[in-house]
């Protein structure tokens, strides 16, 4: 989706954002500029021939690197240099962080901005000057314009501040909310885009990571009670900020989802910074009671690396993805021959082949009325039911790219086109062969007896 949107003309992209995906508008504009830079040899000869996939992912990689550095500095400020270093390393190794460092979406950028905004907040709260508060507001506003759910970090910040810092925080938060309000209004009008969310709940992995963070916080609280705060451990205020960042954004989004399903773990990816801070501080505190300390830190660090290594390796395989678009495009190309029809079920699956110009070469997209770019939509517009049925009946062979399982009976389809696709295929065609790339099913249909 990012690749297709960022390769549209600026005017067409702007028109699309007026009706679709406004929540990612700033990210698309940013990535459009990145692609323009990398395709301009006069400006950057070394990047002129860069792999588009590399260009797509590089900003996320750099953003997560910046986020890890921010976590390390924040941890140093809250709990000491060694705790900060451990927190930065833990953050870089967390499976959600590694996953979205590879994705061509806005979440890594949002995470980096929220982390650095949190660091600016920690400085502002102790400085009493206007400058750090301005930096905090600017970073948070940029994060919210990249994805409006960055707003959920504000409660985590505000509720963990001392009384003296609350007034300037309220002013900064109000400015951020006011700046984000126009985007929130527009994206609310486009809420049908998340209609695929039928329910919202924590995944087992997300729940486990939150439980790990809470366990580390409980350990640190017990240590604080026994030893009193020594200047290097985790005091009450120093625990509150990472705990709030870990728990509150997720909790708020889950509560909102009781009214309308909205929770997806990537929307609050920045909460992983809170987890890393707690784990880093806990490892540091555990090592303080062991001699020699360097050996203790090395052993605990190695244990963390070995624990997370299998997840890291698995994330770099196609099996870690919901779908494998490269394999889907390859299957469509293998299944079809020039002159065959092509259907996507449902229509949003058209994005599978958009980045691969040759995948559908020679095939006729039977349901397509206008392509995504010219219709200023994400997936294109489709013809009426009667026209679609007539087009299908004029073909002897049709390639169907769709979900791996048939949709549930009564699933939402306001146009009725998905039913027309299924009913016409069942009545006039038979399945000849199927391919099963990850997260999809590509099937070649032909007239009875012609397989």
Tokens of 39: 């395709």
The CA distances from residue 186 to 14, 16, 77, 101, 412, in Å, are 13, 12, 38, 28, 23
Report which secondary-structure segment, H or E, holds 364.
Answer: strand 364-365
Q: Is the pLDDT of residue 408 over 60?
A: no
Asked whether the CA dihedral 337, 341, 346, 347 is positive or negative, the reply is positive
Tokens of 37: 């830079």
Q: How many helices (H) and strands (E) does the chain have?
A: 18, 7
pLDDT band, very low/low/confident/very high, at 125 (cuts 50, 70, 90): confident
176-195 burial string, b = 16+ CB within 10 Å, else e? beebbeebeebbeeeeeeee
Tokens of 31: 């990535």
Q: Is the pLDDT of residue 268 over 80?
A: yes
Looking at residue 200, its pLDDT comes to 62
227-261 pLDDT, tens per residue? Answer: 654 544 444 457 889 999 999 999 999 998 888 88
Report which secondary-structure segment, H or E, holds 432.
Answer: strand 430-435
Q: Mean pLDDT over all residues of the chain? A: 85
pTM to 2 decimal places: 0.84
More confident residue, 53 or 186: 186
The candidate with the shortest Cα–Cα distance to 110, out of 82, 152, 73, is: 152
Q: Contact at 8 Å (CB) between 118 and 241?
A: yes
Strands (E), 227-362: 341-345
């Amino acid at each position: 989706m990012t690749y297709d949107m960022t390769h549209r003309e600026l005017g067409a992209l702007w028109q699309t954002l007026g009706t679709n995906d406004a929540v990612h508008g700033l990210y698309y504009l940013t990535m459009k500029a990145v692609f323009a830079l990398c395709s301009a040899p006069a400006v950057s000869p070394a990047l002129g021939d860069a792999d588009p996939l590399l260009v797509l992912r590089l900003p996320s990689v750099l953003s997560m690197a910046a986020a890890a550095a921010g976590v390390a500095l924040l941890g140093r400020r809250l709990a000491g240099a060694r705790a900060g270093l451990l927190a930065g390393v833990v953050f870089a190794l967390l499976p959600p962080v590694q996953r979205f460092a590879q994705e061509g979406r806005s979440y890594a950028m949002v995470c980096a901005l929220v982390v650095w905004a949190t660091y600016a907040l920690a400085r502002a709260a102790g400085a009493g000057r206007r400058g750090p508060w301005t930096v905090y507001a600017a970073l948070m506003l940029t994060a919210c314009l990249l994805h409006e759910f960055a707003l959920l970090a504000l409660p985590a910040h505000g509720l963990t501040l001392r009384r003296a810092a609350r007034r300037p925080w309220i002013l900064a938060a109000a400015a951020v909310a006011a700046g984000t309000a126009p985007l929130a209004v527009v994206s609310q009008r486009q809420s049908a885009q998340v209609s695929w969310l039928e329910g919202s709940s924590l995944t087992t992995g997300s729940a486990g990571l939150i439980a790990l963070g809470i366990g580390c916080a409980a350990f640190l609280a017990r240590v604080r009670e026994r030893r009193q705060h020594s200047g290097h451990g985790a005091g009450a205020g120093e625990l509150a900020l990472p705990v709030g960042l870990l728990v509150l954004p997720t909790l708020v989004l889950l509560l909102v989802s009781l009214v309308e399903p909205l929770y997806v773990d990537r929307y609050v990816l920045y909460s992983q910074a809170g987890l890393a801070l707690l784990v880093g501080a806990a490892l540091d505190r555990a090592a303080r009671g062991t001699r020699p300390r360097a050996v203790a830190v090395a052993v605990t660090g190695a244990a963390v690396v070995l624990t997370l290594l299998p997840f890291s390796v698995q994330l770099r395989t196609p099996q870690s993805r919901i779908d494998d678009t490269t394999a889907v495009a390859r299957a469509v190309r293998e299944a079809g021959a020039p002159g065959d029809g092509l259907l996507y079920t449902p229509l949003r699956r058209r994005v599978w082949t958009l980045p691969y110009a040759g995948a559908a070469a020679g095939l006729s997209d039977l349901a397509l009325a206008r392509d995504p770019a010219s219709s200023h939509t994400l997936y294109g517009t489709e013809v009426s039911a009667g026209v679609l049925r007539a087009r299908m009946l004029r073909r002897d062979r049709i390639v169907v790219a769709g979900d791996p399982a048939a949709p549930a009976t009564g699933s939402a389809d306001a146009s009725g086109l998905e039913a027309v696709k299924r009913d016409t295929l069942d009545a006039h065609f038979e399945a000849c062969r199927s391919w099963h790339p990850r997260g999809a099913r590509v099937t070649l249909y032909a007239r009875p007896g012609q397989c």
